[in-house]
Amino acid sequence: MNRRKFLVSSLTSSAMCALRSRLVLALDEQAALREKLMRDPLRPQFHLLPPANWMNDPCAPRFFSGRYHMFFQYNPGAAVWGDIHWAHAVSPDLIHWKHLPVALSPTPGSYDAYGCFTGSVLPGVDVPSILYTGVTKCSPQEETIRGEGVREVQCLATSTDPELGRWTKLPKPVLEAPPPGLKITGFRDPCPWKDGDTWYMGVGSGFNKVGGAVLLYTSRDGRNWTYLHPLAQGKWNEGTKVNPVDTGEMWECPDFFPLADKHVLLYSTERKVYWEVGTFDKRDLRFHTETRGLLDHGSYYAMKSMVDEKGRRILWGWVQETRSPEECKVAGWAGAMALPRVLSLGPDNTLRMDVPPEFASFRTGTQKSIKDRAGEVICKFKVGQSACGLELRSGTTLLFAIQYGGASSVTIGGKTIPLSSGRDGLASLRLFIDGSIIETFVNSREVMTARCYAPAPAGIQVAWTGAVDALSTLELSGIAPISKDRLTV
């Protein structure tokens, strides 16, 4: 062996050794992370979430070939936001999920190199297609988000894979830039629909110092789009924060669909989620709002809807963490998908929502307390003069409280929420407790998604407080985990 060959071979073997030990370390770390996640009592057991790391918005949910497909914003490398891919899961019934490989990844050097942001199904086409926002780093002149140095474009990908796992991106975005001449504050999260042989698409955006908006486009083929005008527009809150989403100058994740004889517009801004019910006038192609409200009063954001195989309008949303990024890194995971909500319209044209009725079959039976932080509480009480409430405790630790002061509001987890009674004079509370998530449905009208990270080693006891005669019913049941190991696979 000559000197060169010796050097090359020794280098190679020492490099191999280093690589092997790095690999072993990575595998060890992965196994340790899995072990930690499996034992983490704060990890939900019947909500969808990735096996580890960060997730945010639901993307392009659909029923296809007998199964539900859910995609969502996902960072494969850490439990904080960044390097955004589309994760993919399938379900036969909207609750039991199986993870599939990542469906969409940023392409280095391309229009989505910095991230594959939120998107939707492009309906009414022969080959399954999605529209999503591609993001790249850019010069200040090209940026579409104030001060961020990034450019957002709308992109189309198609799939001939029966599993919807492999997607082919078009060589160029379908929308390379926002409409010229407009001083927009962001340009992302397309939501298309089809009416007859015409496609429409709303894009989340807004105008500097004016307010958030949905930009409306139209197309004859789903690929070539023409800008029309704002479909709807909101108001700037006159704040001066750099991020236009915080000042109401930008609306994220719009969703727009017919419901009963009305149209519904959903959007996320100022860290809140809104619904508006109104009419979509086919003459002026604008949305005219009649009623509006908050879609959720807690840690819920960036929702997206779909129609299920029964024809119901189902809403999904991202349950955000309320702990710090440092705590999320330590935990090894962040974010979950909220339970699906069936949307309907009340007689007063307000939005109503509840989990699908078939979810009752996931109950494991009546319990005296909630075990393993997974269960459901149903409570009905008389709306009137008496102060009363519900407390969730573990031993002496108060985990969560609902307080009713005898008027037309109720305080849930510290948030004051409007309350009205039904014809029977009762108000209904339905709580889903899962790890650190507590979703409370009030009269199927208002929802409050809360996070509770306090330890509950003694299980969760549920107690009625205040006026005893105000309580009509209080039922507790367990809910079956969707996987044995809290990894929801």
Binding interface with ligand FRU (CB under 6 A): 56-57, 73, 84, 117-118, 133, 188-189, 252-253, 301-302
Whichever of 189 and 434 has its CB closer to ligand FRU, that residue is 189
Please name the amino acid found at residue 185.
T
Q: Measure the CA–CA gap between 324 and 179, rounded to whole angstroms.
A: 37
* 335/389 with CB nearer ligand FRU: 335
User: What is the rounded CA–CA span in Å between residue 338 and residue 357?
Assistant: 16
Nearer to ligand FRU, 191 or 253 (CB): 253
CA separation (Å) from 262 to 231, 279, 345?
Answer: 15, 5, 9
Angstrom distance (rounded) from CA 134 to CA 250: 18
What is the chain's alpha carbon radius of gyration, rounded to the nearest angstrom? 24
Q: Residue 62 forms beta bridges with which residues?
A: 69
Known active-site residue 57: yes
CB 52 within 8 A of CB 77: no
Q: Which is nearer to ligand FRU, 48 or 399 (CB)?
A: 48
Q: Residue for token digits 């029309």?
A: 228
Tell me whether residue 189 or residue 354 sits nearer to ligand FRU (CB atom). 189
Contact (CB, 8 A) for 346 and 353: no
* Least distance between ligand FRU and beta carbon 11 (Å): 42
How far is it, in rounded angstroms, from Cα 337 to Cα 293? 22
Least Cβ distance, residue 253 to ligand FRU (angstroms): 6
- Cβ neighbors of 443 (< 8 A, separation 6 or more) are 419, 420, 421, 422, 427, 428
Q: What residue has token string 């932080």?
A: 373
Which residue number, 83 or 93, has a Cβ lying nearer to ligand FRU?
83
What's the closest the beta carbon of residue 49 comes to ligand FRU, in angstroms? Answer: 16
What does the alpha-carbon distance between residue 203 and residue 188 come to, in Å, rounded to a whole number? 6
CA-based nearest residue to 131, from 118, 113, 114: 118
Active-site option among 57, 189, 296, 434: 57
Catalytic residues, which ones?
A: 57
